[in-house]
Structure 1
Amino acid sequence: MTTAVVTGLGITAPNGLGTEDYWKATLAGESGLGPVTRFDATQYPSRIAGEVADYVAEDHIPSRLMPQTDHMTRLALTAADWALADAGIDTAELPEYGIGVVTAASGGAVEFGQRELQNLWSKGKEYVSAYQSFAWFYAVNTGQISIRHKLRGPSGVLLTEQAGGIDALGHARRHIRKGFPAVISGGVDAAICPWGWVPQIASGLMSTVDDPARAYLPFSDDAAGYVPGEGGAILLVEDAGSARTRGATVYGEVAGYAATLDPAPGTGRPPGLRRAAENALADAGVTAADIDVVFADAAGVPALDREEAQALTALFGANGVPVTAPKTMTGRLLAGGAALDAATALLALRDGVIPPTANVTAAAGHTIDLVTEAREAGLRNALVLARGHGGFNAALVLRRHG
């Protein structure tokens, strides 16, 4: 069966712009969480976020694209440019229909949409941008990446919130197995504006703690909800034979993937996260004993943390595998979160080091080996877990290549 490998990474994250800056900050435990600056959040109960600092769109995006793109899409285009450059791929040299684009989304470009609706309400319809017809759309990142690089291969978008980045990579692997040489995949999101903020507050899952170092503490006795963030990662998924032929550097193999849906509340049936993990391991042809590190979903909500810790203990045994959640330094990035975790896991496999879960001491009731300081380790296989709001579960096994 055709092997799908990752040959390029592009990262835009709250604690690092670009792959190596992000990785250096993450290993050092440097957080990108802080008070919201993209809008006035002082009147809202939640006021902490992970914002991508020092990003100047005009330095990365052509002027003609500025009026028709949201902050989210600009970050995605930048990450895609970096992933292609990192992979060393010249899209002009590949078959016209050779490269596809599959990304993840949550609610689309809500900041752009909010601005145009405000113009409609306050000024009138003639002040609404014609670009509103598509700039808000949940598939806009896929579309703009495809157009910018003239990519006509199979494309799509997955709307499974935080699980979407893994689902997109799973679909990318499916296209590779069908014979396409490469797929741009992953997820980038940005919803730090009132229109993106209020629905998250309404979920009841957001932290209302104002101290950035204490606001998002998954698996801790002090867990009080999650902190949203913006950014994510775009990955270049490629056929291993194609990568080998052109001498590309390989970060790792997309070895196993699975997704499940939680049962309806009140049915008494167990959550689907453990089953997703088990199915991903089976898909990769490995057992729990072969997994060297788990990148946890880390909801930051006590009941959800307990469910995940129980699933990990049932699968690996008490303290049976190192578990980490570097998203404590970025926040949960909606559709960008699992893609960033996958990229982080590939960097961990490359360098033989597990990044830390910042600011957290695991609760005594959770029998997991939570990594709270960077830990050197011989890493062969990593398991990445994600859960999206609405009951989505996804699991990905990444394997060091060679």
Structure 2
Amino acid sequence: MTAARAVVTGLGVAAPGGLGTGPYWRATLDGATAIGRITRFDPSGYPATLAGEVPPFDPGEHLPSRLVPQTDTVTRLALMAAGWAIDDAGLDLAALPDSGVGVVTASTSGGYEFSQRELQKLWGGEGKVSAYLSFAWFYAVNTGQISIRHNLRGPSGVLVNGQAGGLDALAHARRYVRDGLPAVVSGGMESALCPWGWVGHLSHRDISRGTDPARSYLPFDASASGFVPGEGGAILIVEDAAAARGRGAEPYGEIAGYGSTFDPPPASGRGPNLERAIRLALDDAALAPGDIDVVFADAAGVAAQDRAEAAALAAVFGPHGVPVTAPKTMTGRLYAGGAAVDVAAALLAMRDGVVPATVNVTDPVPGYRLDLVLGEPRRMPVRTALVVARGFDGFNSALILAAPGAAGREGAGQ
């Protein structure tokens, strides 16, 4: 039996540089860096002061008034992006069967800002917290609130595995579609830019301590000194290809292949398994390395991790074998939200025939043997794209996207 094909029919992006898919994509193609000194609070007393912040917004302009007091910034962004994605897909939720749409999202942190505010009230003398704190902090709250707002009663879930989570959530969505579900709302969203959340960020030793937004996050560069965190993400509509075709929808592309691995402990003497994840995704998509047009890299910005990713890409594709880009140099690493944004960017690259650039990198390490897209976007046909993501402590994920009609043999990846 041939497995159902899962296509993406709607995009909703809320990221540094742009609220909405259109503003985000224009800023990305313009090479506009959205990394800057934190404005949400005074960061001067912390060892790191840069982040990728979403543009200021009034949640009351995007959400029902009842939702505003019960949601953290991360959930407001997820609800906004989900609504945009549903509208973009032209999906009539009321026309679908009961329990016909699921929700699978990824998040690393949950509602830090909401939690800090309420705990400050408690410790500051009010002696109580909002009843909404019981769920607003929870990393699964985005899935729950999207489900409730849109009355989505299909199978749902949440992934908590860092940057890789955005890809893993979409892979779970594809699995649900293959099991017979008409559509799934999926992706990743993050926001933890408050003092409490920032302390959590800083517990990771690889965060850049630089103060120049143009020189603080430089993946694959000789001056790489860590990454800059950010907030935001993307929500996508993953739909059964036949169902989408039946209602006249025009997909952005297909989720054609997926692979995930876990690295062994450092003391084991064995190397990382990113290469294997990429090969698993290629096998799942029934594609050869030469079939991939572009790679959206994980781009850790840490020399050892950059070296390992470059080695994996060179092993699979050959030296300088495929264009590689990291548009997250404009936004910072958004954890689970970043991988979902990369998927959206890859689909938009297919639509428009242009690969966004990796900005600010001026001294790429020659030994990495990568064909980095630097300086300006590269005009080229994009029929297939590989998106790579790694979470903390060993998670590796690889997702292959194909333009409509460009995937491998019928029934691949069953």
TM over 0.5: yes
Residue matched to 2:409: none
Kindly report structure 1 stretches of 4+ aligned residues shifted beyond 3 Å: none
The aligned counterpart of 1:116 is: 118
| Alignment map for 1:78-117 (pairs within 5 Å) | 78-117=80-119
Counterpart of 2:396 in structure 1 is 393
Paired residues of 2:109 and 2:191 also in contact (CA < 8 A): no
Q: Which amino acid aligns with 1:364?
A: P
Higher mean Cα deviation, 164-173 or 263-272?
263-272
Query: For 1:51 and 1:170, how far apart are their aligned partners in 2?
Result: 27
Matched, 1:270 2:271: yes
Q: Deviations over 1:17-72 (max 9, x none)?
A: 11111111111111111110111111111101110113221110111111100000
Question: CA separation in 1, counterparts of 2:359 and 2:59?
Answer: 29
Aligned mates of 1:54, 1:191 — CA distance in 2: 15
Q: Does 1:41 align with 2:43?
A: yes
Amino acid at match of 1:316: F
**TM-score using structure 1 length:** 0.98
Tell me how far apart the structure 1 counterparts of residues 49 and 256 of structure 2 sit (CA, whole Å): 39
Say whether residues 1:140 and 2:141 are aligned partners: yes
Give matches, 1:2-401, under 5 Å.
2-126=4-128, 128-361=129-362, 362-372=364-374, 373-401=376-404
Aligned-partner Cα distance in 2 for 1:356–1:171: 29
Match of 2:297, as an amino acid? A
3-state secondary structure, aligned to 1:114:
helix
Q: Distance in 1 between matches of 2:319 and 2:167?
A: 26
Shift of 1:167: 0.2
Q: What is the Cα deviation at residue 202 of structure 1?
A: 1.7
Query: Shift in Å at residue 125 of structure 1?
Result: 3.5
Aligned length: 401
Where does the alignment leave 5 or more consecutive residues of structure 1 unmatched? Answer: none
In the alignment, the residues of structure 2 paired with residue 334 and residue 39 of structure 1 have an alpha-carbon distance, to the nearest angstrom, of 21
Query: Could you tell me which amino acid in structure 1 is paired with residue 287 of structure 2?
Result: V
Distance in structure 1 (CA, Å) of the matches to 2:125 and 2:279: 54
Distance 1:85 1:31 in 2: 28
* RMSD over equivalenced CA pairs, Å: 0.9
State the shift of 1:124 in Å: 4.6
Decide which moves more: 179-188 or 14-23: 14-23
Q: Percent identity?
A: 63
Deviation of 1:285 (Å): 0.5
1: distance between equivalents of 2:382 and 2:182? 27
Secondary structure of the residue that 1:34 maps to in structure 2? strand
Q: CA deviation at 1:200?
A: 2.0
Give secondary structure in 1 for the equivalent of 2:249. coil
**Partner-residue secondary structure (3-state), 2:299:** coil
- Structure 2 counterpart of 1:277, one-letter code: I
Deviation at 1:377, TM superposition (A): 1.1
Residues 350-395 of structure 1: CA deviation (Å, up to 9, x unaligned): 1111110011131222110000120011211100000011211110
Q: 3-state DSSP class of the match of 1:76? A: helix
1:152-206 deviation line (CA, Å, top 9, x unaligned): 0000000011111000000000000000000000011101112221122121010
**Aligned-pair distance for 1:309?**
0.6
Q: Which moved more, 1:10-19 or 1:233-242?
A: 10-19
C-alpha deviations, 1:280-306, integer Å up to 9, x for none?
110000011111100000000111111
Structure 2 distance, partners of 1:124, 1:395, is 48
Q: Which amino acid aligns with 1:77?
A: L
